[in-house]
Amino acid sequence: MDIFDKCEEYTLTRELRANNIYSYFRKISSPQDPVVTMDGEKIVMLGSNNYLGLTNHPEVKAAATDAVAKYGTGCAGSRLLNGTLDVHVELEEKIADFMNADAVLSFSTGYHVNVGAISCLLGRHDVAYLDNLNHASIIDGVRLGFGKSFKFKHNDMADLEAKLQRADDRRSKTIIVDGVFSMEGDLCDLPKIVELKEKYGTRLMVDDAHGLGVFGANGRGTAEHFGLEGEVDLTMGTFSKSLATVGGFISGPKQVIEFMRHNARSQIFSAAMPPPMAAAVIKALEIVQREPERRTQLWDTTHYMMAELKNLGFDTGSTDSPVIPIVVGDEVTTFTMVKRLQEEGIFVNAIVPPAVPPSEAMIRTSFMATHTRDHLDQALTALAKVGRELDVI
């Protein structure tokens, strides 16, 4: 048997293209603004994680440009060796200050954070308890760590407790959850998780990629939203959503971050974050802190769209965030709906298994502080038309 045989047997994308409903790797030729350009057409963007609308902010772009002039385009090495610049140190200090954390370690991507941080902590005698809808990077980090893992039903605290009750007391335990689940848009039950953490003596890590900048009075994320910042041992965040560029970080106790700095393989064996990206994050963080009205506008938009989509008859699941799913069920109908919406001038994302459970294929919409009511109403008109056309509503 040839190792390439599986590639020949993978026919899904060929079938989607043959039916003219393939909807991945679509080419955009403009910034990630509320309206983007695709094949010369203006399309309302409802598929971006640019929650605060900062990816095209002139100050953020100027900070990146200035950093290119000062440092060049890259570091030509890992942080461990030659790749640590003063801008990386400044970034980590500012993130630590913002998060009220002892220490922070930054990585080149958010995926790198979870793969590196989790795998270097989770040894053969350790156990991780995972929500079964956790992000793939968490799952991969656990696999690389050689520890044992147990998945509990999504946000089912009784199932989590039942698994904790059966734990081997000789093993170190940690609970790892998304703060905001990236496809469904709902929040973890952090108050109950913290209660179980204390009861069963575990550690707790929260992946707050989609909570940072969005939740909490100051934008510090899910733990701040619930008033439980001191109860989370490790917080992961990304720079590719609210903070306008690419990369990520983990915050926590100084000695733990120091251990990761020298043992997280995705950090020590990967090139450092390019300096313009680090400078862009510093500027984006400054804007997040000085312009809380962006978060207010984002939530006004979110509440408006939640109400209007439900009024139209769409199933939006149990979302509590600017990620609003439209549950369709059938995969072909989902892909068809994405294609039809683009024809109507609206960009949305098709989410199908294994990213979601079988028979729960969905349209993922997400919103920005910079969407106007005209953008939203244009989208609602198109969604209503296509939803009725395909018998989704």
**Active site positions, annotated:** 182, 210, 241
Q: Residue 223: in which H helix or E strand, if any?
A: helix 222-226
Name the residue among 248, 128, 134 with its Cα closest to residue 188.
134
Strands 126-131 and 172-178: parallel
Beta strands per DSSP E along the chain: 35-38, 41-45, 103-107, 126-131, 148-152, 172-178, 203-207, 234-238, 248-252, 323-329, 346-347, 349-351, 361-366
Q: Which two tokens stand for residue 213?
A: 């900048």
CA distances from 177 to 81, 128, 142 (A): 32, 10, 12
- Spatial separation of the C-alpha atoms in residues 345 and 341, rounded to whole Å: 6
The string over 19-42, giving b where at least 16 C-beta atoms fall within 10 Å of a residue's C-beta and e elsewhere, is eebbbeeeeeeeebbbbbebeeee
Q: How many Å is the maximal CA-CA distance in the chain?
A: 62
- Spatial separation of the C-alpha atoms in residues 33 and 37, rounded to whole Å: 10
CA distances from 145 to 24, 93, 114, 251 (A): 31, 28, 11, 19
- CB atoms under 10 Å from CB of 332, counted, come to 14
- CB atoms under 10 Å from CB of 148, counted, come to 15
Helix (H, G, I), strand (E, B) or coil at 5: helix
- In the beta sheet, which residues pair with residue 364? 325, 349
150 secondary structure, DSSP code: E
